[in-house]
Structure 1
Amino acid sequence: MALHVVKRLARDWFLVGMVAAVVLAALFPDIGRTGGPMHADVVANVGIFLVFLLYGLGLPLANLKAGIMKWRLHVVVQAFTFVVFPLLWLLLDAAVGRWLPADLTLGFLYLCAVPSTISSSVAMTGLARGNVAAAIFNASLSSLLGVVLTPLIVSLLATTTGQSLSLGDAILKLAGLLLLPLVIGQLLRPVLGGWFARYRRYTSMFDRVFILVLVYASFCDSVESGLFTNYGGGILAVTLGGAALFLALVLTLSTTVTRSLGFVKEDEIAAVFCGSKKTLASGVPMARLIFGAHPGLGLIVLPLMFYHQLQLLVCSVLAERYASREAAPAAQE
């Protein structure tokens, strides 16, 4: 039994790492806070640039051509990512937002504004025997659109939480530290693409380790501002329940819409997985750029952290169910 638990933890080391980052921030907040000895702002900017440079190196644009013509699928996925999610937030915020801390409300808004994730969307679509080419196209397009749409959505809707955001500054920061390295990475692909493919295992590890560093730094500032002294353990339960509610609603709606539009099963799978996913890998760095040294940054990224784990768990079960379908009926749709 103990060996099984150890093996499970080794497989889910990233989840364990996020918990450890929060615990370390609670114990040693002075190290990672803004102005602390870790120099979190400098580390964050350099790391974000390197992470998205690696994304650019690993983004095979040639593989996207097969999925471009599925325009109805693309509209559905991007609409769910950047329209349906924010609309659901407006409805739920009107219903229960007044009883939640302002930073947590802002966190749920931010969850609804971030783009889809590339790696797990494509992996789940492939596992479920869906339209992988369309999944790659939509997940990549979502990441690019998020540079502008994520700060725009937060800027337009954050006034209801009592927060404000400089849209122009946010877009410039995202373009400089996210879009620019992506372009540089693409330009370097002919030269370094082979090297990147050989060492992708290690570059993926760098992505995740850096996210843990950002989570630690974000929570250091929040701990310093009283995150754990001002809010009890109940806030974790509320955040987990809210993330689960958003995931359940979007999975149900995306499945219903794709079937009502007559999508073949392969396209339905791509739409459901790409339209319901939210990126933690890009979301945490983007939050750091958009909100800066916001004292409530730890609480702002908390819904996204919970949603990330829930989407992996639930969508892996859905992918296995999709994969178990008979091939003949799927081909006839």
Structure 2
Amino acid sequence: MKIDRFVLAIIATITIAYFFPYWGSKDSTVPLDLIGSIGVSLIFFFYGLKLSPDKIKDGLKNWRLHVLVQSSTFLIFPLIVLGFKPFFLSEEGLTLWLPFLFLAALPSTVSSSVVMVSIAKGNIPAAIFNASISGLIGIAITPLWMELFIPPTAGNFDLGAIYIKLIIEILVPVMLGIALQRYWGKFTNKYKSQLTLFDKSIILLIIYKSFAESFEDNVFSSVSIFDLFLISGIIIGLFYSVYFLTGLISNMLNFNTEDRITAQFCGTKKSLVHGTVFSKILFPSSFPIGLILLPLMLFHAMQIFIISIIASKRGRRQTIS
């Protein structure tokens, strides 16, 4: 299996943040926050350009599959993490538990979901629809989950102000992109690779700033190698729990093979793009954003690795049969 180059870029970015944290610190003269905000709005504008209203309408027909994928993404994932909350009752424990809830409450990722479903020979139109619509649903659902559990001591969680920021930075660019899709939709296909590079560059910039601030504040001083292995074990367990649950429910609903593949692949993915963007908006500046993003980045790497193996095996079996 090839190592995903974006994962390597994330590792390199964190390394740079460790040795050169000043550029991303609060005292830096480089306006990374402003650059990041403009970049995020452009990401979601181009995201809207890729969404065809006609395809969204056609995609609504397979509603049982869509309900399962979105329920897996926004209900099953968070409820599993919520079941472990009684083990983290202290304020410090809650700070350790919140990154996993944040991970669980995020929408699905678009690109890798569709690519992996294609490799496994699943229902590709349904994968495109679910992965795309998940990002829009997440704008409303993810902040609601986090509002319930972010402690008051971490800062004022003003849901109204958060939604205004989400609307301005994310929803308005998306809707503008959808409105212009019929005119500029071909632009996204023509420059697909360049836009993907732009998306990843902005995400790396946000990751750099988050970790640079965390390194300056010594947020990771208490995180040991054992903790990293423990976090990795937890997220692998979380992934497989949702994977097998969606497979079980798919069987109960008598889904065909293609729909089951789509349900399991799209319902177990979490978007690093949305995670890095939402972390800037949902959490106060006093909160250790690097610590919040750590489980998400480990999950991102592992979901690509695990699903790549499963997709390759599924694809070969489908070809043989």
Does 2:14 correspond to 1:55?
A: no
Secondary structure of the corresponding residue to residue 36 of structure 1 = coil
Does 2:36 correspond to 1:22?
A: no
TM-score between the two structures when normalised by the length of structure 2? 0.92
Q: Which residue of 2 aligns with 1:105?
A: 97
Distance in 2 separating the partners of 1:52 and 1:292: 22
Q: Deviations over 1:183-216 (max 9, x none)?
A: 1112222332222211111111011111111100
Q: Which residue of 2 aligns with 1:76?
A: 68
Distance in 2 separating the partners of 1:185 and 1:211: 20
Does 2:198 correspond to 1:206?
A: yes
Distance in 1 separating the partners of 2:57 and 2:303: 27
Deviates more, 1:133-142 or 1:224-233: 224-233
Q: Which residue of 2 aligns with 1:310?
A: 302
1:186 maps to which of 178, 188, 191: 178
Secondary structure of the corresponding residue to residue 267 of structure 2 = helix
Secondary structure of the corresponding residue to residue 298 of structure 2 = helix
Secondary structure of the corresponding residue to residue 257 of structure 1 = helix
Alignment of 1:35-184 (within 5 A): 35-95=27-87, 102-159=94-151, 165-184=157-176
Mapped contact 2:88–2:94 kept (Cα < 8 A): no
Assess, with a 3 A threshold, how the Cα gap between structure 1 residues 269 and 232 changes in structure 2: closer, same or farther: same
Pairs aligned (count):
321
Distance in 1 separating the partners of 2:278 and 2:125: 26
Assess, with a 3 A threshold, how the Cα gap between structure 1 residues 163 and 88 changes in structure 2: closer, same or farther: farther
Secondary structure of the corresponding residue to residue 26 of structure 2 = coil
Report the Cα offset of residue 177 of structure 1.
Answer: 0.6
Report the Cα offset of residue 233 of structure 1.
Answer: 2.9
1:257 maps to which of 244, 249, 268: 249
Mapped contact 1:158–1:164 kept (Cα < 8 A): no
Any unmatched runs of 5+ in structure 2? none
Secondary structure of the corresponding residue to residue 265 of structure 2 = helix
Q: Deviations over 1:37-67 (max 9, x none)?
A: 2222212211111111111122233333443
Deviates more, 1:156-165 or 1:182-191: 156-165
Assess, with a 3 A threshold, how the Cα gap between structure 1 residues 324 and 163 changes in structure 2: closer, same or farther: farther
Distance in 1 separating the partners of 2:319 and 2:20: 54
Distance in 2 separating the partners of 1:254 and 1:108: 20
Assess, with a 3 A threshold, how the Cα gap between structure 1 residues 163 and 242 changes in structure 2: closer, same or farther: farther
Secondary structure of the corresponding residue to residue 34 of structure 1 = coil
1:220 maps to which of 212, 215, 224: 212
Mapped contact 1:81–1:112 kept (Cα < 8 A): yes
Q: Which residue of 2 aligns with 1:241?
A: 233
Distance in 2 separating the partners of 1:97 and 1:81: 25
Distance in 2 separating the partners of 1:50 and 1:35: 26
Give the counterpart letter for 1:130 in structure 2: G
Does 2:287 correspond to 1:281?
A: no
Structure with bigger RCO (C-alpha 8 Å, 6+ apart): 2
Report the Cα offset of residue 103 of structure 1.
Answer: 3.4
Aligned Cα RMSD in Å? 2.4
Q: Deviations over 1:275-325 (max 9, x none)?
A: 110001221111111114244000001111111111111111111222233
Q: Which residue of 1 aligns with 2:187?
A: 195
Give the counterpart letter for 1:197 in structure 2: N
Q: Kindly, what percent of the aligned residue pairs are identical?
A: 35
Report the Cα offset of residue 162 of structure 1.
Answer: 7.1
Give the counterpart letter for 2:46 in structure 1: L
Assess, with a 3 A threshold, how the Cα gap between structure 1 residues 228 and 159 changes in structure 2: closer, same or farther: closer
